[in-house]
Amino acid sequence: MAIEMHKLVMNEYELVDGLVNNPLDSQLKGIIDYYCGKINSRLIDRVNRYLLMNGVTNEEERIKLISEQLDKYNMLYNRQVIEKQLQHDFVPLRKSDERIKYYQSEIDIINSLGSWKLKKFAFAILTFAKYELIVRGEAKLLNDYDHMADLYNLCEPGGISREKMYLLLHELVKRDLIRIPISLDKYEKIEVKYVSIGDEDVVYELGNTDVFKMGEVFERIFGEFRHEVQKTILEISLVEDFHAVHSSIGEAVRHHNNRCGNKLEKGHVSRCIAFSSISAGNSAFIEIDFDDKDDVEYIKRICNFVRFQIKPNYTKAKKLKWNWIISRDLICAKCGDEIVVREGELCRRGRKLCLNVA
């Protein structure tokens, strides 16, 4: 089942009106290619429906006006082709104020995925699921390879092998983002589980022309988060035995505020990441590599270092202009090129654990 782009447009009347009356304002390449490309029947059909919606019922007049549009866009045609399209049952062009809206939690989930190809595929699946939710009341899509390939091509034009497609789908299933029913005798609908329908911040509303340039839309939305893409954030509570891994600064802020009832902002977390402050809302925030997010032992080492070395000595270290280094290869404090203290170098003074320095 091929995905027809015009079906994702919530107000196709507006697009066709632009093609008919404001060609210079409607020369967006994707729209022209789609409506005025090799398939001239598509433009003939849309212009005919547009004219009928504007009260032009005389067939000869419609044929004349349609011919003018075909000439304007340098399309080949003959009268028989036009007359054939005029015989179809009249269906009004979609004319709706509805918009596909993307919410912050959905963007965070996609942003937490690994490769850009997987992110683009997940974004395309989310887009179509939202369309299905608006039109049919369900966030489901057909479990069919050709359908999946069309979805993949929305944001990442070009062919993809069945093997690679199934690997991408398998990754989304593993992360519990989609559910694929198994059937031996028919295609069943895939359930998309990361569609948000709650009250959240809207990150982007899909405009009428956006469906013809989904790759650009993806870059526009996720371009804002490029500085966060590799910023997997480790939150470490400094007042209780709690830590959590977040896929972005924005996600860290929301999860912390929901858990603690605080009003942190992204700037607070960014200052912690840069060690300009030790904590925000009684938690420290450390940037780690995406590949390290599931390494329990490594994360435990970081938590211990933050709680028992950075926290009690942060003020002193700031005055002495130490730099805190946290990486898989080295966890330490440096002053210039000299390592002042390494991970685990603790001594007990009274009842407190302190850095073993004079």
> Tell me, what's the pLDDT at 226?
47
**How large is the average pLDDT for residues 82-102?**
91
Question: Encoding tokens for residue 162?
Answer: 């069945």
d(CA 223, CA 175): 23
Q: Is 312 exposed, middle or buried (0-12, 13-18, 19+ CB in 10 A)?
A: middle
The interaxial angle of helices 214-223 and 145-155, nearest 10 deg, is: 60
What distances in angstroms separate CA 120 from CA 98, 116, 131, 247, one per listed residue? Answer: 23, 6, 17, 17
Convert the pLDDT of each residue in 150-189 to its tens digit. Answer: 888 888 877 778 888 889 999 999 999 999 888 767 778 8
Q: Is the pLDDT of residue 130 over 90?
A: yes
**Amino acid 343: pLDDT:** 82
Domain residue limits, the chain: 5-86, 100-223, 230-355
Greatest mean pLDDT range, 13-22, 219-228, 298-307: 298-307
Q: Do the beta carbons of residue 325 and residue 331 sit within 8 Å?
A: yes
For the chain, the maximum distance between any two Cα atoms, rounded to a whole number of angstroms, is: 99
Query: Are the C-beta atoms of residues 249 and 231 closer than 8 Å to each other?
Result: yes
Query: What whole-number distance in Å separates Cα of residue 222 and Cα of residue 216?
Result: 10
- DSSP-derived letter for residue 87 is T
CATH of domain 100-223: 1.10.10
Residue 246: half-sphere exposure toward Cβ, Cα within 13 Å: 25
pTM (2 d.p.): 0.60
d(CA 171, CA 115): 11
Answer with the residue of higher pLDDT: 302 or 7: 302
Question: Residue for token digits 């092998």?
Answer: 161
Whether the predicted pLDDT of 107 surpasses 80: yes
| Rounded-to-integer distance, Cα 227 and Cα 188, Å | 39
Percent of the chain with pLDDT over 90: 33
Of the chain, the end-to-end C-alpha distance in Å amounts to 73
156-174 burial, b at 16+ Cβ within 10 Å, e below that, comes to: beeebeeeebeebbebbee
Q: What single letter denotes the amino acid at residue 153? A: N
Condensed to tens digits (0 to 9), the pLDDT of residues 33-67 reads 788 876 678 899 999 999 999 999 999 999 999 99
What pLDDT, on a 0 to 100 scale, did the predictor assign at position 299?
93
In contact, 17 and 105? CB cutoff 8 Å: no
The one-character DSSP state at 280 is B
DSSP 136: H
What is the pLDDT, as a whole number, of residue 250? 76
